[in-house]
Structure 1
Amino acid sequence: MSLQDRIINHFSDSIQTQQDALTHLSEFIEVASQRLVVTLLNDKKILSCGNGCSATSAQLLSSVLLNQFERERPSLPAFALTTDTATITAIANDYNFDDIFSKQLRALGQNGDILVAYSAGSHSANIAKAVRSAHDKGLSIIALTGKDGGMIAPLLNEKDLEIRVPSNSSARIQEIHVLITHCLCDLIDHQLFGG
Structure 2
Amino acid sequence: MTVESHLDGLTGTLAGLRAQAPRIHHWGVLLARVLGAGGRVLAAGNGGSAAEAQHLTAELVGRYRHDRAPFSALALCAETSSITAIANDYGYDQVFARQVSAHARPGDLVILLSTSGSSPNLLEAAHAARRAEATVWALTGALPNPLASLADDTLALPGNACHVQEAQLVVVHALCEAFEAALPASVRRVS
User: Could you tell me how far apart the structure 2 residues matched to 1:135 and 1:83 are?
Assistant: 22
Unaligned runs of 5+ in 2: none
Q: How many Å separate the matches in 2 of 1:73 and 1:86?
A: 30
Instruction: Tell me whether 1:16 sits opposite 2:12 in the alignment.
Output: yes
1:150 CA displacement: 2.3
In 2, the alpha carbon distance for the partners of 1:154 and 1:46 equals: 20
Q: 1:117 aligns with which of 83, 103, 112?
A: 112
Matched position secondary structure for 2:77: coil
Report the aligned-residue RMSD: 1.5
Structure 1 gaps of 5+ residues are none
Partner in structure 2 of residue 187 of structure 1: 178
* CA offsets 1:1-36 (integer angstroms, 9 cap, x no match): 8xxxx111112221232122202x112112211221
Cα distance between partner residues in 2 of 1:69 and 1:54: 19
Residue-pair matches, total: 186
Q: Deviation at 1:190?
A: 1.2
Contact 1:49 1:82 in 2 (8 A): yes
Post-superposition CA distance 1:86-107 (Å, at most 9, x none): 1100100111100000101111
**Partner of residue 126 from structure 1, selected from 121, 124, 136:** 121
In structure 2, give the amino acid aligned to 1:10: H
Out of 20, 25, 33, which is 1:30 matched to?
25
Match status 1:69 vs 2:60? no
What's the TM-score, normalizing by structure 2? 0.92
1:98 is aligned to 2:93: yes
The residue type equivalent to 1:171 in the other structure is C
Show the counterpart of 1:43. Answer: 38
How far apart in 2 are the matches of 1:72 and 1:38? 18
3-state DSSP class of the match of 2:183? helix
AA aligned to 1:163 is L
2:25 match: secondary structure: helix
Post-superposition, which runs of at least 4 consecutive aligned residues in structure 1 deviate over 3 A?
none
Given candidates 163, 176, 183, the residue that maps to 1:172 is 163
Aligned-partner residue type, residue 142 of structure 1: W
- What's the TM-score, normalizing by structure 1? 0.90
